[in-house]
Structure 1
C-alpha cells in the first residue's frame, strides 16, 4: 500500500462511526458516580478540587468500559489508585523542569511497556500519563497535592462502590462471550451443509476461554450455565467437520450426504437455542423438529450413515444432548464453591491483581528486546511526552500541556491506529470544543451548571464510547471545556489554544511513528514460522495419540490446539496490520502470504479431522503412527527455521514415513491414512506459496486468466456450432 492510499484509509477509518449495541444503564451508572463526586466536591471544597475529583471519577468510569474479564469495580479502584499516584508524583517534581521531564519520560516509558500485559493495562497506564500532565497545574502546595491525589482516588472508590451496590446484568459480558462461541459453532454447522471444507474462525472460542478464566472469588458466584457449554462446543466442532468432510465422513452425494445435512441443520438449531438460553439466563427452548432429526435413526439399524460418518453422527447426538441438559437449568447458581487456590478441575483460574504483578513484570521483561513493537512504542511514548511538554512550555499559547496529552493518547503500538486516532482526535476535538464553547458563551453557566453539563457530556461519552474514536473525542473535548469553565478558566483561555495544540500533538505523534516505526510487514515470515511450528505440534500430538491412546496425549493435544490458535490469532492480527502499512515485504508478496495462510489453515483442519476420531483410552494402537508423528515433529522444527531464514522448506522425513506406513502389511484405518495425506498436502501447499516469487506468481496468474478466457470462448463457439461441433481444445 502506498503512503497516499494508507493515509486515505487512515482518515476513513478514523472518522468511521460504527453501529454497536449500547449499554445505557451502565453508562448512566458511571455518569451518576461522576455527578456524585463533582457535587460533593463543590459542596465541601472548591471548584479546583472538584476538577481533580472529576478527573479521577471520569477516568475510573472510562476504565470500566475497557474489555476485561475482571470485576469492573477492581478496574475502577486500580485506575483511581494509578491516577492518584501519578498526580502526586507529578506535583512533587513539577517545580523543577528537568526533574519533571525525567519523571514524565520514565512514567511514559513504563506506560508503554504496560502494553505487554494487554490493551486494557496499556490504555489505563497511558491515561495516568495524561492526568499527570493536567493535574500538576492545579495544586500550590504539597498539602494540596495530597488533597488532590486523595480526591482523585476517591473518584475511583465512588465508581467501584456504585458497581458493587447497583449491579447491572451480572456476568453479562461472560454470558455474551459464551453465547457468541456457541453461535459461531452453529453458524459453522450451517456453512458445512453447503461447503464441506468451510473455515472456522477460532476467535469466538478464544474469547470464551478468556472469559471462562475467573478469580477464586468469581468462581464461587459464577452461574451454573457458564460452566460446561464451552467445553462441549470445543468437542462438537471437530465432530461437525468430520461428519461433513467427504474424505472421512459422509460421501459428497447420495442419501448419506442428505442425512449429514439434516444432522448439521439440527445441530445448528440446538446450538442456537443454547446460545439464546445462556445470553438471556433462561431455560433452553430447542425446536421439536431438531430433536426429531437427531433422534431419527440414532442407535438403530435404520441409520443410513456408515463407517466413520456413522460414528461421528452418534458422537454428535450425544454431545448435543449434553448441551441441552447443561442449558435447560437456565440461571441456576453453581452448586460447588471451590476454595481459593483450589479450583475445580473444570475451572480456569485467573490470578488476583496482586498475584498477577510478577507475571506482568515477566511479560514486560520479555519485551525488552530491540525488535519488540512494545519496546519501540514505549520509547516513542517517552520521547514524545517529553518533547511535547517542552514544546507546549516554549509556545506562547498557554495550556501547553495539550500537546503532550494529545500525543500520548494518540500513540499506539501500530501504524494504523496511531494515524487514525490522530485524525479522529483532531476532528472530534474541533467539533466538541466548538459546540461546548457555543453553549458557554450563550448560557454563561456557573460552577454547578458547568459541572452538570460536564456530567452530561461524560454520560454521552460512556454511552457512545464504542461507536468511534471521533465521536468519543467530541464528548471528551466538551467535557473538558465545561470542567475548565467550572474551575473558573474562561473559554477564551482554552478553546483556540486547545484546537491548535491538539493539532500539533497529533502531528508530533504521527511524525514520531514515521521516524521510529515498528512495521509489522517485515515480521510476517516470522509469524508464518510461529504458526507453522504451533500447527505442526498440534498435528503431531494428534497423530501420537493414535499411537498411544492415553489421557496424557489428549492433554497434549489440547495444549497444542490452544497454542495453534494463539499463533493463528497473532498471524491474523499481524497480517491485518501489515496490509494497512505503506511498506512492502521484499521476500513475501500479499498473494503469497494469503496462500500461506490458506495452507496453514488446511494443516490445522487436517489435524482437527484426525482429532474428531481419536481412539478411546485402552484402544489398540495404530501401527506406524508414532514414526509419522516423530517425522512430523522433526520436519516442522526444521521448516520453521528455514522459513525464518527465507529458505524453502522440505518434507522428506514425512514423505518417507507416510510411504512406509502405507506399504506396511498392517495398514492404518482409512480415517488416519486420509488425515495423514491431508497433512502432507497442506505442507506442500505451504512450500509452493512461500517458494513462488511475486513475478512468477503474477505471470502464472495472467496465464491462468488467459487459459480460462480461451476455454470459455471455445466452449461458446462449440455451443453455436451445434452437436456436430468438435469438443473445445485447450489453448497453447
Structure 2
C-alpha cells in the first residue's frame, strides 16, 4: 500500500511537471563533459601530489569556467570565458573587502547579485556568466579571508583557473565553431522524423478526431522550438569577412529545407486526418509506406549531420540508405490517389492532395540530400537568419538596459528576487553561524527562477538531487580512506554532472553534490565526519530552498493566470493574420507576395508561448489545479489546428480558388475570420465584452459547394471542408474563451493591464 501511494504521488508530480526524476530525451555531449572533468581533476591531482590545498581552487574555477562556455564561434567563447576569468579574480577582492563589515557586506550582496542577475537581458551566455559569478561572490562573502595575502592567492587561483579552462576548451580540445549549429540542425530533422512517424501511427490506427487534436502540441511544438534553437545556433557562427562560411551555408540550406518539410508535414497532417475519417477505402498501405520512407530519410539526414565534419553535403553519408528511402517514397506517391498526375475528377480529392504533398516532400528531401550552397540563394537565406537573430552589438547596451529596467520587465523582477534572496541567505547564515553557510546562499540563488512554477520545480529537483548525492558522498567517504582515491573520484562525478545537464536537473544536482562534497572533504578542513558533512549540506539546502520559496511567493509572484489571457490573445491575432494572409495570397487581385513562412513562424512562436505559460500554470504549487487549465488547453489545441488549416489553405491547388463567385467568398471568409478571432482576443485582453463568434456565413458554404454538386468530387470540396473545419475550431475557441473568462475574471480583471507579460 505504501509503495502504491508513493508511486501515485510521483506520477502526479511528473504529470504536473513538478519533478524531473523521469529521464527526458537528450543529446549526449561527451566532449564538454570530459573537458570540464579534465579542467577540474588536473589541478586537484597536482594539489594532492604537492600537498598544497590552495591549488585545488584552480580546479574549481576551471570547472566553473567550462560551465560558462557558450559554444559557437571562437571569439564568442574567448570573450565569455576570458570575461569570467578576469571578473572572477575581481569578485574575490570585492567579497573580501565587503566581508570586513556587515554594513558593507549586505549592500554588496544585494547590489552584486542584482547586477550579475540582470546580465540575463543580454542573452544566455551572460546569464550563465552572471550566475557563476554570483555563486563565487556568495562563497567569498560567506568565507572571510584572514588577510590580503590570502585574497591575492585566491584571486590568482580564480584567474589561473579561468585561463586554464580556456586552454583546455579553446586550444587543447577545441571543437569546430559550427558544432552546436550542426547538432541543433540535426535535432530539427530528428523531430521531423518523430512527427512523420507519429503521423503513421495515428493514421494507421484509424485515430479519431480527439486523437488527432493532440498532434500539434505533441509534435508541431517541439519541431518549431527546435527550428528556433537552430536559428539561434546558426546566428552564433562566426562570419568571415566575405560573408558566412561554407559550412554554415550548408547548414542554412538544410535548415531551410527542414522548414519547408515542416510546413508540408503540417499540411499533410490535416489531409491524412480527413482522408482516414471520410474515405475508408483510401490507399492506406501506400500512405503508410510513404510515411515510413519519409521517417527513414529524415533520420538518415539527422545522423549524417551528426557525423558531418567537412564542408561536404549529407549526400555522401548514408547515400545508399537515403536513396532507398527516396525510391520507396516515389513508389508510395505514385500509388496514392492513382498517382499525382491523374485527373482530379477521377480520384479522391484528399488522396490526390496527399499525393501532391508527398511529392513536394520528396522534392524537398532530394534538395536536402544535395545541400550545397552554390546556386541556391543561400546568401539571402543567411542574411535573413542573421538579421532575425542578430548578434549583440556594444551600441545596444544602453538601450537594452533601459528597456528592461522597469518593474514590469521579467528580468528586473527576477534580479530583485535573486538580490533579496542572496542577501537574506547571507544574513541568515551569518546569524546562525552555519558551517559552510555559503551553501545556503548558493542554493537560494540557484533555485530562484523567473517564474514561480519553475522555481517550485527547481526546488523539488534540487532537494531530491542533494539528498541522494549527499548520501552517496557520505558512503564513499566512509568507505574510501585514501585521499588520492577520493580525488580520482571527483573526475567521473563532475564529468557526469555536465553530461546529465540535459537529462534532468535532479540528476545534474545529484552528481554535482557528490563531486563537491568529495572536494570539500579533501581541501576544506572542517573536522567533520562524512555523515556530518553530508547532513550539513542537506540542512543548508533545505534552508536555502525554504528561503527561495518565501522570496518567490513574496516578491512579485508571477502567477500565470494573469498573463495567460494576453498570451492566448496574441496567438489568436497571429492565427487571424496567418489565415487571412493565406486566403489573400490566393486571390486574383493580390498585389504582392505574402511572406507566409514568416507568418507561420510567428504563429508557431505565439502558440509555443501560450503553451509554455499553460504548462507553467499546470505546474504551479496550488492546493488544487486551476479551473482555467481545461478551457485554456482547449483553446491552445484549437489554435494549433487553425495554424495547420492555414498551411493547408496555402497548399491547395489553384482550382480550389478559381471563379469569380469563389473569389468573393474568399474575401467574405477573411472578414469573418478576422472579426471572430479579433473579438475573442479583445475580450481576453479586457478591451471589450465577450461576444460569441458568429457562424460561418451560409453564402460562403453555398458558393464553395456550388460547382461541386453533381460533378463528382473536386478540389472545391477541399476548400469547403477547410472552411467548415475553421468554423468548428473558432466555435470551440469561443466556447472555451467564455468558460475561461468566467473562471478567471475575479483574478485577472484588476491586473491584466499591469501584467508583466
Interval of TM-score (by shorter of Structure 1 and Structure 2): 0.7 to 0.9
In structure 1, the partner of 2:84 is 82
Using the TM superposition, give the Cα deviation of residue 149 of structure 1 relative to its aligned residue in structure 2, in angstroms.
Answer: 3.8
Cα separation, 1, equivalents of 2:47 and 2:61: 12
Cα separation, 2, equivalents of 1:485 and 1:73: 38
* Residue among 202, 207, 219 paired with 1:191: 202
In structure 2, the partner of 1:234 is 262
Q: Structure 1 residues 422-431 or 530-539, which shifts more?
A: 422-431
Using the TM superposition, give the Cα deviation of residue 241 of structure 1 relative to its aligned residue in structure 2, in angstroms.
Answer: 3.5
SS in 1 for 2:735: helix
* Residue among 351, 354, 361 paired with 1:320: 361
Using the TM superposition, give the Cα deviation of residue 567 of structure 1 relative to its aligned residue in structure 2, in angstroms.
Answer: 1.4
In structure 2, the partner of 1:532 is 572
Cα separation, 1, equivalents of 2:175 and 2:590: 49
Q: Do residues 107 (structure 1) and 112 (structure 2) align?
A: yes
Q: Structure 1 residues 510-519 or 182-191, which shifts more?
A: 182-191
In structure 2, the partner of 1:590 is 629
In structure 2, the partner of 1:286 is 324
In structure 2, the partner of 1:160 is 169
In structure 2, the partner of 1:712 is none
* Residue among 28, 33, 37 paired with 1:31: 37
Q: Structure 1 residues 176-185 or 285-294, which shifts more?
A: 285-294
Q: Structure 1 residues 465-474 or 571-580, which shifts more?
A: 465-474
Using the TM superposition, give the Cα deviation of residue 520 of structure 1 relative to its aligned residue in structure 2, in angstroms.
Answer: 0.9
Structure 1 residues 327 and 551, CA gap change in structure 2 (3 angstroms): farther
* Residue among 680, 684, 687 paired with 2:731: 684
Using the TM superposition, give the Cα deviation of residue 395 of structure 1 relative to its aligned residue in structure 2, in angstroms.
Answer: 1.8
Q: Structure 1 residues 649-658 or 597-606, which shifts more?
A: 649-658
Using the TM superposition, give the Cα deviation of residue 237 of structure 1 relative to its aligned residue in structure 2, in angstroms.
Answer: 1.8
SS in 2 for 1:597: helix
**Is residue 90–residue 100 contact of structure 1 (8 Å, CA) maintained in 2?**
no
* Residue among 656, 668, 690 paired with 1:648: 690
Matches within 5 A, 1:242-641: 243-246=271-274, 252-253=278-279, 255=281, 258-259=282-283, 261-281=284-304, 282-283=318-319, 284-287=322-325, 289-296=328-335, 297-301=338-342, 306=347, 308-309=349-350, 312-328=353-369, 344=381, 348-349=385-386, 355=392, 367-440=404-477, 443-446=480-483, 450-490=486-526, 492=528, 495-516=534-555, 517-548=557-588, 552-555=592-595, 557-583=596-622, 589-613=628-652, 615=654, 622-641=663-682
Cα separation, 2, equivalents of 1:327 and 1:544: 30
Structure 1 residues 416 and 58, CA gap change in structure 2 (3 angstroms): same
SS in 2 for 1:534: helix
Q: Deviations over 1:66-121 (max 9, x none)?
A: xx784599458625623641551352253234444333323322444455566665
**Is residue 536–residue 632 contact of structure 1 (8 Å, CA) maintained in 2?**
yes
Using the TM superposition, give the Cα deviation of residue 383 of structure 1 relative to its aligned residue in structure 2, in angstroms.
Answer: 0.2
Structure 1 residues 651 and 361, CA gap change in structure 2 (3 angstroms): farther
Cα separation, 1, equivalents of 2:376 and 2:156: 42
In structure 2, the partner of 1:704 is none
Structure 1 residues 408 and 361, CA gap change in structure 2 (3 angstroms): farther
In structure 1, the partner of 2:3 is none
Q: Structure 1 residues 102-111 or 375-384, which shifts more?
A: 102-111
Cα separation, 2, equivalents of 1:106 and 1:7: 41
Using the TM superposition, give the Cα deviation of residue 531 of structure 1 relative to its aligned residue in structure 2, in angstroms.
Answer: 1.5
| Count of residue pairs the alignment pairs up | 678
Q: Do residues 9 (structure 1) and 50 (structure 2) align?
A: no
**Is residue 6–residue 581 contact of structure 1 (8 Å, CA) maintained in 2?**
no
Cα separation, 2, equivalents of 1:429 and 1:129: 20
Q: Deviations over 1:428-470 (max 9, x none)?
A: 3344334434544554444x65543322321232233344333
SS in 1 for 2:111: helix
Cα separation, 1, equivalents of 2:230 and 2:500: 27
Cα separation, 2, equivalents of 1:382 and 1:480: 25
Using the TM superposition, give the Cα deviation of residue 386 of structure 1 relative to its aligned residue in structure 2, in angstroms.
Answer: 0.7
Using the TM superposition, give the Cα deviation of residue 570 of structure 1 relative to its aligned residue in structure 2, in angstroms.
Answer: 1.2
Structure 1 residues 17 and 292, CA gap change in structure 2 (3 angstroms): closer
Using the TM superposition, give the Cα deviation of residue 578 of structure 1 relative to its aligned residue in structure 2, in angstroms.
Answer: 0.9
Using the TM superposition, give the Cα deviation of residue 313 of structure 1 relative to its aligned residue in structure 2, in angstroms.
Answer: 3.9
Structure 1 residues 315 and 508, CA gap change in structure 2 (3 angstroms): same
Using the TM superposition, give the Cα deviation of residue 190 of structure 1 relative to its aligned residue in structure 2, in angstroms.
Answer: 4.4
**Is residue 190–residue 268 contact of structure 1 (8 Å, CA) maintained in 2?**
no
Using the TM superposition, give the Cα deviation of residue 27 of structure 1 relative to its aligned residue in structure 2, in angstroms.
Answer: 2.6
Using the TM superposition, give the Cα deviation of residue 427 of structure 1 relative to its aligned residue in structure 2, in angstroms.
Answer: 4.0
SS in 1 for 2:648: helix
Cα separation, 1, equivalents of 2:739 and 2:340: 51
Structure 1 residues 565 and 319, CA gap change in structure 2 (3 angstroms): same
Cα separation, 1, equivalents of 2:385 and 2:578: 21
Cα separation, 2, equivalents of 1:176 and 1:74: 23
Structure 1 residues 472 and 599, CA gap change in structure 2 (3 angstroms): closer
Cα separation, 2, equivalents of 1:684 and 1:389: 55
Q: Do residues 675 (structure 1) and 714 (structure 2) align?
A: no
**Is residue 90–residue 132 contact of structure 1 (8 Å, CA) maintained in 2?**
yes
Cα separation, 1, equivalents of 2:471 and 2:390: 41
**Is residue 542–residue 610 contact of structure 1 (8 Å, CA) maintained in 2?**
yes
In structure 2, the partner of 1:702 is none
Q: Deviations over 1:280-334 (max 9, x none)?
A: 21221535554422234435548896374365245324323324423545xx875
